[in-house]
Amino acid sequence: MPESKRQTIYQEVTERIIRELEAGRVPWVQPWGKPEIETPLGLPKNAATRKAYSGINILILWGAAIELGARAQNWLTFRQAKALGGSVRKGERGTTVVYADRFIPKAELERADAEGDDAQAVPFLKRYTVFNVDQCEGLREDAHAGASPLPECEAISHAEALIAATGADFRIGGDKAFYVPSKDYIQVPPQPAFFEQINYYRTCFHELGHWSGHESRLAREFKGRFGSKPYAREELVAEMASAFICASLSIVPTVRHTDYIADWLEVVKEDERAIFNAASLASKAADFILAFQVSAADAGAGERVA
> What confidence tens digit (pLDDT) does each residue in 137-169 have?
999 888 888 776 667 888 999 999 999 999 999
Given this model, what pLDDT does residue 59 score? 78
Given this model, what pLDDT does residue 208 score? 97
88-92, 166-170, 257-261: which range is least confident on average?
A: 257-261
47-61, 103-117, 159-173: which range is least confident on average?
A: 103-117
Of residues 167 and 104, more confidently modeled: 167
Given this model, what pLDDT does residue 47 score? 94
Please state, rounded to an integer, the average pLDDT across all residues of the chain. Answer: 79
What is the C-alpha R_g of the chain? Answer: 26
Given this model, what pLDDT does residue 222 score? 80
Backbone angles phi, psi at 96, to 5 degrees: -85, 125
Angle in degrees, CA 243, 155, 249, rounded to 5: 30
> Mean pLDDT across the stretch 91-115?
83
Residue 221 has pLDDT above 70, yes or no: yes
63-67, 246-250, 261-265: which range is least confident on average?
A: 261-265
Tell me the range of 98-112, 118-132, 176-190 where mean pLDDT is highest: 176-190
- Asked if 238 and 209 touch (Cβ cutoff 8 Å), the reply is yes
Amino acid letter, residue 99: Y
Q: Report d(CA 189, CA 162) in Å as an integer.
A: 18
What does the pLDDT look like over 226-242, one tens digit per residue? Answer: 656 777 788 888 988 88
Cross-strand pairs, 172: 188
> Mean pLDDT across the stretch 79-91?
92
- Locate the domains of the chain by residue range: 3-32+151-299, 45-144
Given this model, what pLDDT does residue 160 score? 95
What's the predicted TM-score (pTM) here? 0.60
Q: What is the per-residue DSSP string for 28-45?
A: ---SB-S-S-PPPPS--E
Of residues 115 and 216, more confidently modeled: 216
